[in-house]
Amino acid sequence: MSNTTVQTNKNDEKKLTPKKIIGDVIFWGIIVSLIFSIFYFKLHYVATGSMEPTIVTGAFIVVNPHEDVEVGDVAMYKAGAEGYVVHRIIDVDENGSYIFKGDNNETEDMEHISKERIVGPVIFHANWLSPLFKAIHHLG
C-alpha cells in the first residue's frame, strides 16, 4: 500500500471567486440593511420604472421615516395590499392629502394620500446598484 500525500496551496483557499464576492456582498448588504432599518432608516429596492430617469428600476433607496415631506419631494407611501409606492409629491389637495405622480408616468396617482400613510422622503438612491440587484433578483 502506498500513501499519497496531497499538498494544498494556502492561496487556493483564499482565492476570490465571483460566487464568493456576490455572496459576501449579499451577506454584508443584508447586515447593513438590518442595522439601518432597525435603528433609523428604511431601505428598499425599486421594482418598477415609474420614477425613471430619476430613480431607475433596481435602484436601492433609503427612506427617512422621521422626516416630514413637502411638494417636490420623492417619497414613499403605503399603498394598501399592493405594498409601497415611491413617487414625487406634486401637490396637496384642499383636505391636506398629498398628490403623487411618478416622474415617468403621464398622469398623477389615482388616490390622494393622507399624511398617516406616508412613510417618508427618499433621502438617497443608488442607481449604480441597479445591475447588481437586477442580477440577484433574476437568480431567484
Question: Mapping DSSP to helix (H, G, I), strand (E, B) and coil, where does residue 31 land?
Answer: helix
Helix (H) or strand (E) holding 69: none
Q: Which CATH architecture has domain 16-139?
A: Ribbon (2.10)
Residues of the chain with pLDDT > 70: what percent? 79
For residue 74, the model assigns a pLDDT of 98
Name which of 68-72, 80-84, 113-117 the model is least confident about: 80-84
Task: Decide if pLDDT at 31 tops 90.
Answer: no
Question: Mapping DSSP to helix (H, G, I), strand (E, B) and coil, where does residue 23 land?
Answer: helix
For residue 21, the model assigns a pLDDT of 85
